[in-house]
Amino acid sequence: MNRSFRDFTMTSHGMDRRGFLKGVGASGALLFTANWNWAQSERKKYGGDAMPGGTKRDPKVFIAINPDGTVDITCARSEMGQGIRSSLALVVADEMEADWDRCRVVQAPGDEALYGNQNTDGSRSMRHWYMPMRYCGAAARLMLEQAAADRWGTQLIEVRASKHSVIFPQARQKFDFGELASRVDEMELAPGAAIRLKRPSEFRYIGKDQTLSCDADDIVSGTATYGADIQKVGMVYAVVARPPVFGSKMESCDDSEALKVDGVLKVMPIEGTMAPSNFKPIGGVAVVAENTWAAIKGREALKIKWSGSPNDHYDSQSYRAAIEDAATKPGKAIRSEGDFDEAFASASKTHAATYYLPHIAHAPMEPPVATALLKTNFLEVWAPTQAPEAARTHAAERVGLPLEKTRVNVTLLGGGFGRKSKADFVNEAVEIAKAFPGRAARVQWTREDDIRHDYFHTVSAEHLEASLDRRGKPTGWLHRSVAPTIVSIFSEDPKTQAEFESNMGHNNIPFAVPNVRIENPEAAAHTRIGWFRSVSNIPRAFAVQCFISELAEKARKDPLKFYLELLGEDRKIDPGDIGDGWNHGENPEKYPVDTGRLRKVLETAAKEAGWGKRLPKRRGMGLAVHYSFVTYVAAVLEVEVEEGGNLVVHKATMAVDCGPQINPDRIRSQMEGSCVMGIGLATTGEVSFADGTAQQSNFHDYTVPRISSAPKSISVHLVDPGRNEELGGVGEPGVPPIAPALCNAIYAATGKRIRQLPIGGQLG
């Protein structure tokens, strides 16, 4: 018998723990016993359980039923466009038989002791919280049924919840959820109560292709609350002049003109933290005013002398030369199989290429912003943060209050992409609030602040070499990646990649090549490096997928055919066997690297795109496929390079296998957005440094895609893994294959190889 979706759900995180699974009911549905404090597993923890704070499954924490029948569902993950508030809520609503239109989503403040892990990154929210949320919803349904049965004086088995009511078919009676609210509120679910999860055939919202959003109405009418939309009586507004070079400090500041600006209240220094600066401010001078405009005008009037910095000489041109040079020389070996040198020496053909990718800035549409209010013995913060608990910890430390006396309210995020995991802007708001006790203090980053002082996506040189035998089959693979590490924001001058970075497409290539050498030569960081949506997968997928296309040409084979040969026969690889002991934090037994799934997304995208069809002159198709965040994504782009070099993306075809699809519309929307972002970073994304200073500052010189540069069409095909698979990530894995698919398409259209991003003027 084929394993069903239900089987999947039952074997997901934690559900197989000892002592929890009590048996299979007559209906075939698995039953669980109520137990909020799950026994600690003695085995190594994975997934959500391995995260700080773990997962929580107490329905009373996440669900409240109001007397009017509305249901409040608490979302403890941050909403930054991925739709998680709606997606997690629809899971709860479905399991508890609540009517979506009568549910409201309440955003949790930062409190991981209560809510479990809240750090919204790593494409983890649905992957880690699907089962806990189902469990909460099912427990709430059981409580509603029990409450109704008690009121009718009948047995639980005689009643059932359906569409926001509990019905008693025999008596032809029903109670609306609202009528049961007070009873449920007083109830404790008895230990040993049997909680039944729904069968997939009973789902109303989970896996259904519909657009359900708890926020869309508010967004389009301007009533949704983002970080900058917090308003408090007596609030002060600040902007900060930050040192142009990371590591520089304010030596002196003449604020006399600034203080003359109408509305300016105070000019104050913000202390900076040198590298590793973690999430602490980089320092500078804050201008605090009665409104944002006065603060901006006041800042313009400051005369600041900045100190020298160890990073004064950071220059992107010379840095590029240095890392490209390092990429040609041996470095720290991080994976080695067979004998690459021998394979290379005895090859029929060899090929080598070096790729370069610059820093990029996140540039969320909402620049960083936060508001803090320090009262006697209590600090309250409002912030668009991906990491509310980290923000809370930083904020509490900064004022010397215990966590219980510090509240971080999470607003909607106007984009995050990894930028808003870092609490530096929250720390700044708290610092200003300390100077204005009793008054809310907001720090607003301008776009220039955002682009010049980002935690930049790393810069990298990726060098690849390969050997082919007589039949054009790859026999040897060498990949050196040289890039400053994200760890440089946390520890003193590290020069090599962390495990999680190496395992984003560098180490863990699942190809059928016998001789493999993966190396990581050293690189130092001279600015703040941070994770950007899909992180190190961006340079690795770009280099590897472009290189494969180059190799296919060398082997005189169609790229698709060559790729399928490179993948080899379908097999499930233990990530540890290909140097990946991390595996995005997931259990390698449940999440092997499955080359069959890679093959299937690739074949699906190729088929749907019409791979191999004849195209008009100056048009071409390119493909790429990448595994990241335990999800498989392939992309085929069809482009035209017009006379003069103008690039038009006519069609993007994506195929994604992220395991079971909980909210298909939001999976598609994430892929669409990833496609546009991928095209942006490939075509124009670059922040460069000269004299230690970022050279770009706003959307005129840091250009991101506009509507005219988006593909004329994007089609996203959701590939059903067709068997018992675990949930994969969605927010990030769509990005990595786009840039290489685009550049491979450009090659097919023009014969021009792109080995350096951004493409910029290379097509002219």
Partner 1 sequence: MISIHLNGRDVEVDAPADMPLLWAVRDVLGFTGTKFGCGMGLCGACTMHMDGAPIRSCVTPLSAAVGKKITTVEAVGRDEVGKAVQSAWVKVGVPQCGYCQCGQVMSAAALLARNPSPDDAEIESSMAGNICRCGTYNRIKTAIHTASSSLKGGAQ
| Out of 714, 741, 745, 749, the residue judged to bind partner 1 by CB under 8 A | 714
364 binds partner 1 (CB under 8 A): yes
733 binds partner 1 (CB under 8 A): no
d(CA 189, CA 462): 56
216 or 512: whose CB is closer to partner 1? 216
Alpha helices per DSSP H over 485-525: 499-502
575 or 680: whose CB is closer to partner 1? 680
- In whole angstroms, the minimum distance from the beta carbon of 260 to partner 1 comes to 13
- In whole angstroms, the minimum distance from the beta carbon of 715 to partner 1 comes to 10
- In whole angstroms, the minimum distance from the beta carbon of 369 to partner 1 comes to 9
Give me 474's structure tokens.
């790859």
Q: Which stretch binds partner 1 (CB under 8 A): 361-369, 516-524, 567-575, 717-725?
A: 361-369
| Out of 42, 708, 751, 761, the residue judged to bind partner 1 by CB under 8 A | 708
393 binds partner 1 (CB under 8 A): no
300 or 404: whose CB is closer to partner 1? 300
Among candidate residues 417, 456, 431, 455, the one with its CA nearest the CA of residue 370: 431
Q: Which helix (H) or strand (E) holds 9?
A: helix 5-11
Q: Which stretch binds partner 1 (CB under 8 A): 285-293, 484-492, 511-519, 642-650?
A: 285-293
**Which CA distances in Å does 88 have to 59, 65, 434, 474?**
13, 17, 36, 44
- In whole angstroms, the minimum distance from the beta carbon of 706 to partner 1 comes to 5
116 or 680: whose CB is closer to partner 1? 680
Burial class (CB in 10 A: 0-12, 13-18, 19+), 416: buried
> Residue 365 is which amino acid?
M
Residue 231: left if φ>0, alpha if ψ -120 to 50, beta else—which one? beta
415 or 659: whose CB is closer to partner 1? 415
175 binds partner 1 (CB under 8 A): no
Beta strands 406-410 and 250-254 are unpaired
- In whole angstroms, the minimum distance from the beta carbon of 607 to partner 1 comes to 21
Residue ranges in 224-283 that form contacts with partner 1 under rule CB under 8 A: 224-226, 228-229, 231, 237, 262
d(CA 725, CA 379): 44
Alpha helices per DSSP H over 400-480: 424-435, 447-452
d(CA 460, CA 728): 27
516 or 704: whose CB is closer to partner 1? 704
- Binding mask 181-220 vs partner 1 (x if CB under 8 A, - otherwise)? ------------------------------x-x-xxx-xx
d(CA 219, CA 234): 26
363 binds partner 1 (CB under 8 A): yes
446 binds partner 1 (CB under 8 A): yes
| Out of 713, 722, 723, 752, the residue judged to bind partner 1 by CB under 8 A | 713
87 or 277: whose CB is closer to partner 1? 87
Among candidate residues 435, 419, 451, 438, the one with its CA nearest the CA of residue 287: 435
d(CA 287, CA 292): 10
- In whole angstroms, the minimum distance from the beta carbon of 677 to partner 1 comes to 5
640 binds partner 1 (CB under 8 A): no
The residue behind tokens 């493999």 is 516
Q: What is the DSSP letter of 169?
A: G
Count CB-CB contacts under 10 A for residue 44: 8
Q: What is the DSSP letter of 265?
A: E
144 or 369: whose CB is closer to partner 1? 369
Q: Which stretch binds partner 1 (CB under 8 A): 183-191, 194-202, 411-419, 487-495?
A: 411-419
68 or 262: whose CB is closer to partner 1? 262
Asked if residue 711 has a cis previous peptide bond (ω within 30° of 0), the answer is no
| Out of 24, 352, 365, 512, the residue judged to bind partner 1 by CB under 8 A | 365
Give me 707's structure tokens.
């509507």
Among candidate residues 223, 299, 306, the one with its CA nearest the CA of residue 267: 299
Contact 546, 355 (CB under 8 A): yes
Contact 115, 56 (CB under 8 A): yes
| Out of 5, 152, 203, 293, the residue judged to bind partner 1 by CB under 8 A | 293
Q: What is the DSSP letter of 463?
A: E
414 or 622: whose CB is closer to partner 1? 414
69 or 388: whose CB is closer to partner 1? 388
Q: At residue 169, what are phi and psi to the nearest 5 degrees?
A: -55, -40
d(CA 382, CA 409): 5
| Out of 55, 82, 123, 165, the residue judged to bind partner 1 by CB under 8 A | 82
- In whole angstroms, the minimum distance from the beta carbon of 219 to partner 1 comes to 4
Beta strands 160-162 and 165-168 are antiparallel
What is the longest distance spanned by two Cα atoms in the chain?
84
| Out of 54, 416, 539, 758, the residue judged to bind partner 1 by CB under 8 A | 416
Beta strands 194-196 and 406-410 are unpaired
d(CA 63, CA 27): 27
| Out of 285, 343, 381, 413, the residue judged to bind partner 1 by CB under 8 A | 413
Q: Which stretch binds partner 1 (CB under 8 A): 287-295, 569-577, 578-586, 635-643?
A: 287-295
Contact 285, 449 (CB under 8 A): no
161 or 302: whose CB is closer to partner 1? 302
665 binds partner 1 (CB under 8 A): yes
646 binds partner 1 (CB under 8 A): no
328 or 698: whose CB is closer to partner 1? 698
Alpha helices per DSSP H over 453-558: 499-502, 537-554
Give me 29's structure tokens.
């549905």
Contact 729, 656 (CB under 8 A): no
518 or 649: whose CB is closer to partner 1? 649
Size of residue set near partner 1 by CB under 8 A: 65
Angle (nearest 5°) at CA 269 between 268 and 270: 120
**How many separate helices (H) and strands (E) can be counted in the chain?**
20, 31
83 binds partner 1 (CB under 8 A): yes
549 or 674: whose CB is closer to partner 1? 674
- In whole angstroms, the minimum distance from the beta carbon of 615 to partner 1 comes to 21
27 or 221: whose CB is closer to partner 1? 221
- Binding mask 668-707 vs partner 1 (x if CB under 8 A, - otherwise)? -xx-xxxxxx--x-----------------xxx---xxxx
Q: Which stretches of the chain bind partner 1, using CB under 8 A?
A: 79-83, 211, 213, 215-217, 219-226, 228-229, 231, 237, 262, 291-293, 296, 363-367, 412-417, 444, 446-448, 665, 669-670, 672-677, 680, 698-700, 704-708, 710-714
